[in-house]
Amino acid sequence: MAITGILRFWQTYKNIGRIKEIVNVFLRHGFGQFIEQVNLQRFIPLRKRLKFFKRWPEVEKHTVPQRLRMVFSELGPSFMKLAQLLSSRPDLITQEYADEFKKLQDKAPPFPAEEAKQTVESELGVSIKDVFPEFEDTPAAAASIAQVHNATLKSGEKVIVKVQRPDIRERIEADTVILAVIARLMLKYIPESKFFNPAGIVDEFSKTVKKELDFVIESRNAQRFKRNFAENPHICIPKVYTDLLSGRVLVMERLEGVRIDDIKGIQSLGLEKSELAKRGVDAYFKMIFEDGFFHADPHPGNVFVMSDGRIALMDFGIVGRLTPEIMENIAGAFLAFFNRDFDGLVNQYIELGLVAEDIDIETFKREFKTDLIDICEPLYSLTISEIKIAEYFEILTQVAVKHGLSIPSDLLLMNKTLLILDNIGRQLDPDFNFASAAEPYATKLVKNRMSPERILKRTKENLTEMGDLLINTPKQVSRLLRKTLKDGIRFNVNTLGMEKLIKDIDRSSNRLAFSIIVAAIIVGSSLLIQSGIGGEIFGLPAIGAAGFLIAFVLGVALLISILRSGRL
């Protein structure tokens, strides 16, 4: 414990400049009370504490989610990436915050080309001129983590060179440490924050961003997609040059085309927009429902249409994975939906492990079923072409959030991906319908789920589990009895909100004691003034006047503390 404490102290000391910057940005956008709640006010000079005590009209005209979005935008790449992650987790932060964070765009000013060249040479151990006879200094694109330069190999092949920003890895790692500290402080000083799991959010962010920072992982993702679409003539995945690869540099085949949302550009190529919409969505349904491995960042800047009509995908840093079990549950949900089996639909949510242990299952089933009926019943009066399935995915997510379900991040990532695709599909073809495109994949999933081979496999798995249960149960019962006889069983009781109550009582008692001291100084100063002891200032005894001044300063400090806490 002592070593852990020393390490935490060292990490805090090492990042103290960045912590002060973060605290000041939060203050500037009206989050002073939060800074005080998590005990970070010690990083604010006294003059700034007084300055930020007053109310700011420009802060008040924005909502809390808007202000938090502005904070994350101002604090740079790490916080922008965190906001993008949170935008896909309405189950943790509510829909209002998620919608606001979706507005953040991952754009950044480019860094100098010379720095990019130095990174390429140091990472690959080559000279730029020896490998790339042509290397464009002006980047084709720049984002928070990396920027892309067009180049040409000696063989004449046109490529893109993705180069990581200098020091971005170190900065994100430092910010991750700071975010972990803030998460711990939130759990310590704001016990109710545990319900949206700040430590879990930071941990998920850390894992996600580490993968994005490792271009070797991105290259493997790209190669896996290329294998998965090797037989598809309509989808193009760029080639990765594995001999020109490192954790910070990635060289890929350059694919020429127009953005998927550039309608005029697509029309100039003479391509059929409705066919492009179908091909693109078919590709994503294959990824999600057949491969269980999907490109999870399909914004228009990452999807291009080539002159020959093929759709090219770029940027494979963010991917989603679906296990066979989740894919089976999706199939079961489709089957239950089409059969109007709402009990079965509710059971799919339970089988996915989305329902917390402390939720009353029977009450949940009854209330959740009622909400599902309200959502789904109107669909049965529509034709399949009239159903806007992506919108209903969003509504189902909101209902799940309402009932406190813990939704796996990959499922939310899938939901976000489908919403983006639905929007792109309708831009290309206003009559495009997701449900029509999904129907064959859903049918195939259901058939696979009910196939004799799959039923036999599941039966074997269940029998194996039952066998393990029969073998292990006597051992576990014996172990439990031994612990019981040795008084080895302990019960942990967690009293929700007790930490906050103790903190509030402690703070109140401290303020009361502080008030008594101030009152004592005032009384003592009054007696000294009456006695006339010592020299005079402005016609009053100096010692008594000094006492009044001290009491005034301490009283104002106490008043500021009470007002800033928001509790009069």
Residue 112, φ and ψ in degrees, nearest 5: -55, 145
- Between CA 418 and CA 440 the distance in angstroms is 16
Contacts with 198 (C-beta within 8 Å, 6 or more apart), sequence order: 182, 183, 186, 187
Angle between helix axes 198-213 and 215-228 (nearest 10 degrees) is 80
Q: Tokens 């720049």 — which residue?
A: 142
Catalytic residue among 91, 297, 315, 410: 297
Q: Which of 142, 147, 30, 24 is nearest to 75 (CA)?
A: 24
Decide if 292 contacts 325 (C-beta within 8 A).
Answer: no
Q: Which of 62, 206, 84 is nearest to 144 (CA)?
A: 84
Contacts with 414 (C-beta within 8 Å, 6 or more apart), sequence order: 288, 294, 296, 320, 322
Decide if 281 contacts 421 (C-beta within 8 A).
Answer: yes
- Between CA 293 and CA 304 the distance in angstroms is 20
* Cα of 365 vs its chain's centroid, Å: 29
Q: Which of 442, 447, 444, 448 is nearest to 418 (CA)?
A: 442
Is 422 a known active-site residue?
A: no
Output DSSP code: residue 190: -
Please give the positions annotated as active site.
297
